[in-house]
Amino acid sequence: MLAVLPAIGEGFYFRDRVSWQSPIPASELVTVDQAKAWGDGVIWVDARPDDEFASDHVPGAFSLNEDHWGELLAQFLPNWSPEKKVVVYCSAESCNAARDVAKRLRDDAQIQNVFVLNGGWEEWMKKNR
Amino acid sequence: MKTRILTFTLSILLVVSARAELKWEQNIIELHPSVGDKQAVAHFKYQNTGTAPIHFKSVKASCGCTTTQTQKEVVNPGEKGEIVATFNIGDRTGQQLKTVTVQTDDPNPAQASTVLTLKADITPALEIKPQVVYWQSGEEPKSKKISVKAAKEFPAKELTIKSNSQNFESKVEPGKPGEWTIEVTPKDTTHPIGTALLIQTDYPKEAPKSFYLNVVVTNPPQAPPVLRPTAAPAPGLKATPAAIPSVSPAAR
For chain A, what is the total number of helices (H) and then of strands (E)?
6, 5
Q: Which helix (H) or strand (E) holds A73?
A: helix A69-76
Task: Kindly report whether the peptide bond that precedes residue B130 is cis, defined as omega within 30 degrees of 0.
Answer: yes
Give the pLDDT confidence score for residue A116 in this predicted structure.
Answer: 97
- List the single residue in B193, B212, B248 with the smallest CB-CB distance to A74: B212
Local confidence pLDDT in tens for the 252 residues of chain B: 566 655 555 454 444 456 768 999 999 999 999 998 999 999 999 999 999 999 999 999 988 899 999 989 999 999 999 999 999 999 999 999 999 999 999 988 888 999 999 999 999 999 999 999 999 999 999 999 999 999 999 999 999 999 988 999 999 999 999 999 999 999 999 989 999 999 999 999 999 999 999 999 998 766 554 544 444 444 444 333 333 333 344 333
DSSP symbol at B213? E
Give the pLDDT confidence score for residue A3 in this predicted structure.
Answer: 63
Best mutation site among A66, A85, A107 for testing chain B: the one with the most B CBs within 10 Å? A66
Whether residue A9 is contained in a domain is answered as no
* B227 close contact with A: CB closer than 8 A: no
With an 8 Å Cβ cutoff, are B91 and A69 in contact? yes
| Cα–Cα dist B103/A72, whole Å | 35
Whether residue A117 is contained in a domain is answered as yes
| Cα–Cα dist B180/B147, whole Å | 6
Chain A CA closest to residue B63: A95
Q: What range defines the domain where residue A33 resides?
A: 19-128
| Cα–Cα dist A57/A52, whole Å | 8
The answer to whether A21 and A96 have CB atoms below 8 angstroms apart is: yes
Number of CB pairs, chain A paired with chain B, less than 8 A apart: 108
| Cα–Cα dist B40/B46, whole Å | 20
With an 8 Å Cβ cutoff, are B250 and A82 in contact? yes
Whether residue A106 is contained in a domain is answered as yes
pLDDT in tens, A73-124: 999 998 998 999 999 999 988 788 999 999 999 999 999 999 999 999 999 9
> When comparing pLDDT for A8 and B113, which is higher?
B113
- Exposed (0-12), middle (13-18) or buried (19+): which is B226, by Cβ within 10 Å? exposed
| Cα–Cα dist B70/B124, whole Å | 31
- List the single residue in B28, B113, B248 with the smallest CB-CB distance to A82: B248
Could you tell me which residues of chain A have a Cβ less than 8 Å from any Cβ in chain B? 13-21, 48-49, 52, 65-71, 73-74, 77-78, 80-83, 91, 94-97, 100, 108-113
Among the listed ranges A24-28, A40-44, A105-109, which one has the minimum average pLDDT value? Answer: A24-28
Q: What's the pLDDT band for A128 if we cut at 50, 70, 90?
A: confident
With an 8 Å Cβ cutoff, are A14 and B130 in contact? no
DSSP one-letter string for B38-74:
SEEEEEEEEEE-SSS-EEEEEEEESSTTEEEEES-SE
| Cα–Cα dist A43/B161, whole Å | 30
Question: CA dihedral in degrees (B220, B224, B225, B231; nearest 10)?
Answer: -150
Whole-model pTM: value is 0.77
Task: Give me the number of domains chain A comprises.
Answer: 1
* CA nearest neighbour of A18 among B28, B19, B92: B28
Give the pLDDT confidence score for residue A11 in this predicted structure.
Answer: 52
DSSP one-letter string for B22-48:
EEES-SEEEE-PPTT-SEEEEEEEEEE
Instruction: Give the CATH number of the domain where residue A40 resides.
Output: 3.40.250.10
Best mutation site among A79, A99, A100 for testing chain B: the one with the most B CBs within 10 Å? A100
Whether residue A80 is contained in a domain is answered as yes
Q: B9-13, long-range: CB within 8 Å, 24+ apart, which pairs?
A: none
Which residues 149-208 of B have a C-beta within 8 angstroms of A? 192-196
| Cα–Cα dist A6/B85, whole Å | 33
Whether residue A100 is contained in a domain is answered as yes
| Cα–Cα dist B249/B243, whole Å | 18
Whether residue A121 is contained in a domain is answered as yes
ipTM: 0.78
| Cα–Cα dist A74/B165, whole Å | 13
Q: Write out chain A residues lying below 8 Å of B117, CB-based.
A: 16, 20
> Where do the DSSP E strands lie in B52-178?
54-61, 66-70, 74-75, 80-88, 94-104, 113-122, 126-129, 132-136, 144-150, 159-162, 168-174
- Exposed (0-12), middle (13-18) or buried (19+): which is A28, by Cβ within 10 Å? middle
Q: What's the pLDDT band for A5 if we cut at 50, 70, 90?
A: low
Give the pLDDT confidence score for residue A96 in this predicted structure.
Answer: 86
Whether residue A45 is contained in a domain is answered as yes
Whether residue A60 is contained in a domain is answered as yes
Enumerate the β-bridge partners of residue B182. B146, B172
| Cα–Cα dist B104/B114, whole Å | 9
Give the pLDDT confidence score for residue A1 in this predicted structure.
Answer: 57
